[in-house]
Amino acid sequence: KQEVTQIPAALSVPEGENLVLNCSFTDSAIYNLQWFRQDPGKGLTSLLLIQSSQREQTSGRLNASLDKSSGRSTLYIAASQPGDSATYLCAVWETSGSRLTFGEGTQLTVNP
């Protein structure tokens, strides 16, 4: 059974700092890995999707990497801003089961 773990569970940083969020998964048989953002009381917003054949994806100040063989992904946020404060969720699409399995998220607070 696929398990997705995110570390740390919570992170508080000053504005302007670069930061890394970590995600690990137990079964490397995946189609892709996705990073989402969830704001309090809101739904999820897709940030980046990395196909299993890819090593990284970039969007603005965000860069996500994928090492499928070791079951790890990182989300790098450059020059963090207070508006980046949210919960960041990692999810993998399994080749067996046809579903997204989510981690429990990292709650990020960027202080002005």
Partner 1 sequence: DTAVSQTPKYLVTQMGNDKSIKCEQNLGHDTMYWYKQDSKKFLKIMFSYNNKELIINETVPNRFSPKSPDKAHLNLHINSLELGDSAVYFCASSPRTSTDTQYFGPGTRLTVL
Which residues of this chain interact with partner 1, rule CB under 8 A?
Answer: 31-32, 34, 36, 41-46, 49, 51, 87, 89, 93, 97-102, 104-105
Residue 109 and residue 14: Cα distance in Å, rounded?
8
Rg from Cα positions in the chain: 13
Question: Nearest distance from residue 22's CB to partner 1, in Å?
Answer: 17
Tally of CB atoms within 10 A around 71? 20
Question: Nearest distance from residue 32's CB to partner 1, in Å?
Answer: 5
Tally of CB atoms within 10 A around 64? 25
Residue 107 and residue 112: Cα distance in Å, rounded?
16
Q: Which is nearer to partner 1, 76 or 102 (CB)?
A: 102
Question: Nearest distance from residue 43's CB to partner 1, in Å?
Answer: 4
Question: Nearest distance from residue 21's CB to partner 1, in Å?
Answer: 15
Tell which residue, 10, 21, 9, has the closest CA to residue 78: 21
Q: Which is nearer to partner 1, 61 or 99 (CB)?
A: 99
